Copies of this chain bind each other. A is one copy, B any other.
Amino acid sequence: MQPDFSALDDYLADVDADGYLVDAASDDSTQRYVSGFDAPDPFFTLYTPDGTYLLVSGLEYGRAKKEARADEVRRGSDFDMREKMQEYGRYEAEARARAEFLAEYDVESVVTPRRFPLGSADELRDLGVDVEAETEDVVTTIRAVKQDEEIEHVRQAQKANERAMQAAEELVADADVVDGVLHHEDEPLTSERVKEEIEVTLLREGCALDETIVACGTDAADPHNRGSGPLDANEPIIVDIFPRNKATKYHADMTRTFCKGDPSETVREWYDLTHEALDAALAAVEPGATGEDVHDAACDVYEDAGLPTLRDDPTTETGYIHSTGHGVGLDVHELPHVSTNGAELKAGHVITVEPGLYDPDVGGVRIEDLVVVTEDGYENLTDYPIELVVG
């Protein structure tokens, strides 16, 4: 895949810098995107309008030459690292090698991501290189617009995600109810047990995840609570899964809310309203609309029904208390914002749409689909039923 870096070329011209420099491991998505290389330890990537150049350890040299999207790959020994280490110690030796690497490409000034390491930057400055952190989100804005290959990666992760959601739903649907608590194989069915099933399912699909949400009752009333302990009958259970495919590194994200038994009238109303808010927000997704338009469409549904939203009341602690979505890609949360101040949507943006309602006295309800903005609207990448009562 060849990213379209024309906006970065323009930015570099604007700020009069010779290149864009990244010093990070590949868990940094900007590094992964600019270098096209996956390595566990930090390495140097220099992007210039003339080419992309990597400086890696000897250990990664062979693999980088094969796998990186780079015009040239260099290693420490090209810059006499061993001798420099003896003369200057490790940190200054690294800095001197890096400065020589930049000089070979006639680079005297660089812009970096905001989280570029301070030690590395100041040492380059001491050696005469002009180093400034970017003041705009240039590369993250570029990588928010996905190419077809990236959309396929997200689609693949989402298929795995749906299998994991199915495994979670089945555990809840097939549970026995003993004294109001869900049971599985004669033991209380816990949030932890459902998460384990989700993770094992994802793992067998080549995906991993650091965290997942299976939250019931008051846990579900806090949108950031991951959930713990036994799950109750007749209560809404929020299941929010956001895995990363281990090979491609692209994410998916979806949420469903399940209830085993008989939900309260309020929960039923909230669920239908949230489904309505989802449909309204989805209907607003198209190129040229803004992330704020999509957020507004969801807020309108809730406010028309008399429920509080953060848009209407910034101090509310119940009702619709988060934004409507976010971009998804190499990071599970990335641009564009689908919220107040969310900017214009473009074809190729992959975003979540995830309205929900929360109140410690009621619990929580959320429904989340993952969609890609297309030339004439959107394509929903989520293929999973929207149904509250299961089993």
Contact = CB atoms under 8 A, between A and B. Distances in A.
A199 interface: yes
A42 to B, nearest CB: 8
Interface string A201-242: 001100010110000000000001000000000000000000
A211 B118 contact: no
Interface stretch (A108-116, A154-162, A348-356, A369-377): A108-116
A120 interface: yes
Q: Which of A40, A113, A117 has the most CB of B within 10 A?
A: A117
A122 B115 CA distance: 11
Contact of A115 (B27, B91, B117, B135): B117
B119 A59 contact: no
Given A203-B200, A204-B196, A210-B208, A122 B133 contact: yes
A17 interface: no
Contact of A135 (B91, B112, B199, B224): B91
Nearest to A224: B59
Given A118-B118, A135-B91, A203 B196 contact: yes
A313 to B, nearest CB: 14
A125 to B, nearest CB: 10
Given A200-B200, A200-B203, A224-B59, A118 B131 contact: yes
Contacts of A27: 27
A114 B94 CA distance: 13
A132 B118 CA distance: 8
B114 A116 contact: no
B211 A208 contact: no
A121 interface: yes
A120 B224 CA distance: 26
A383 B14 CA distance: 61
Interface in A114-151: 114-122, 131-135
Interface string A52-95: 00000001000000000000000000000000000000010000
10 contacts: A40-B210, A91-B135, A114-B120, A115-B119, A116-B119, A117-B118, A118-B131, A119-B133, A119-B134, A200-B203
Interface of A: 27, 40, 59, 91, 112-122, 131-135, 196, 199-200, 203-204, 208, 210-211, 224
The 8 closest A-B pairs by CB, nearest first: A114-B119, A119-B133, A115-B117, A116-B118, A118-B133, A118-B121, A118-B118, A199-B203
